[in-house]
Chain A
Amino acid sequence: MRLRGLAAAGMVAGAIGLAAVAAPPAQATEGAERITVTGEVIDSWCYLSEIMWATGSAHHRCAVWCARGGVPVGILGEDDEVYVLLMLENDPGVIGNRAVFRMQTNEVVVTGDLYQRDSVNYLAVSEIVEDHGIVNYSHEEFDIQPGGL
């Protein structure tokens, strides 16, 4: 399972050419680091638990289900790090938020404040700089996760 997960991360990074870029001048809140992250919006649980193929179009519907169901959403960055969404465009209401689950699976470029605590990266997104839509066509290899239509 771990190898599959690592392969998934590598495939995603390679397939969509992700790039974490330089941090702009720090205007982060105290205790945070202002960063820019490019990556795929993911369901954090399915990805971290590896219970199924959890990136790209193959997993889009499941990612929508989970976001609607209140599972925290993340961004899988170019550095293979998972950034758990803490705010979206300065709105802390990220649980079950339609704006959040509408973005599932999209490749986005975001800026925000990074907090690191007890092994987890938390990202308070202040701005969605770019939204490229879905660019990871994983359904071509993995069909629909979980369990087809």
Chain B
Amino acid sequence: MTRMPSHRPFVRLAAAVAFVGAVTVSGIASAANSWGLPDEVEARFDATVTDVLCVLSGDCPEDCGAGSRLLGLLQEDGTLVLPLKNAGPFTGPTADLIPFCNQRVTVDGLFTTNYGITTFAVQFVRPEGGKWRGANGFVRQWAKERGLEAKDKKARRWMRNDEAILELIEEQGVLGLKSKGITP
């Protein structure tokens, strides 16, 4: 059976439009900063931080994978929001959300819909009964592991100082084509 994608973009677009309409957004105004994303919608909503694989397949470690698994934001009505980004440079939201595995949080940020896919960028997160925090957990954690402050220049440019990245780029080259003799 060959997959037949020809009509799917329209179905997916309609589904995405319906999805955004279905997302339960709190009545409180979002504090999110616009990034000019495709079909961007500023939003603040409540959800439970969840392990996506758990929701989809029933494989549910108690710690949501301790930061190694894909995390989602599950709303009370069953809508599963996929957060792809946090507020940091080149970083995702796992470090911001994993402390609240299986707990309710309020998140503030941006929905974006493109190619029929709706995802979310987390800019701020607040645990139930707690305080708001900027979603820059990866950089904070990266800096802490190296005895730095998150505001340190080396931490703010973590991607140019990360040992694993430097090792891989040395091996593969900036273009990933070093083994073929192609470098900038």
Contacts and interface: CB of A to CB of B under 8 A. Distances in A.
B24 interface: no
Contacts of A16: none
B148 interface: no
Interface in B83-137: 84-85, 88-95, 112-119, 121
Contact of B16 (A71, A92, A102, A119): A119
Nearest to A28: B57
Interface residues of B, number: 64
Nearest to B54: A92
Contacts of A122: 52, 56, 70
A130 interface: no
Interface string B155-180: 00011001011001100101111010
Contacts of B165: 64-65, 68
A140 to B, nearest CB: 10
Contacts of B88: 69
A10 interface: no
Interface in B70-84: 70-71, 79-82, 84
Nearest to A9: B115
A149 B93 CA distance: 26
A27 interface: no
Interface string A130-143: 00011001010000
B2 A20 contact: yes
A69 to B, nearest CB: 4
Interface in A18-54: 20-23, 29-32, 35, 44-45, 48-51
A50 B57 CA distance: 31
A65 B35 CA distance: 20
A115 B56 contact: yes
A79 interface: yes
Nearest to A94: B70
A118 B81 contact: yes
A72 B179 CA distance: 26
A23 to B, nearest CB: 6
A109 interface: no
Interface of B: 1-3, 5, 8-9, 12, 15-16, 19, 35, 37-38, 52-53, 55-57, 59, 65, 67-71, 79-82, 84-85, 88-95, 112-119, 121, 138, 158-159, 162, 164-165, 168-169, 172, 174-177, 179, 182, 184
Interface of A: 1-2, 5, 9, 20-23, 29-32, 35, 44-45, 48-51, 57-58, 60-62, 64-66, 68-72, 79-82, 84-87, 92-98, 101-102, 104-105, 113, 115, 117-122, 124, 133-134, 137, 139, 144, 149
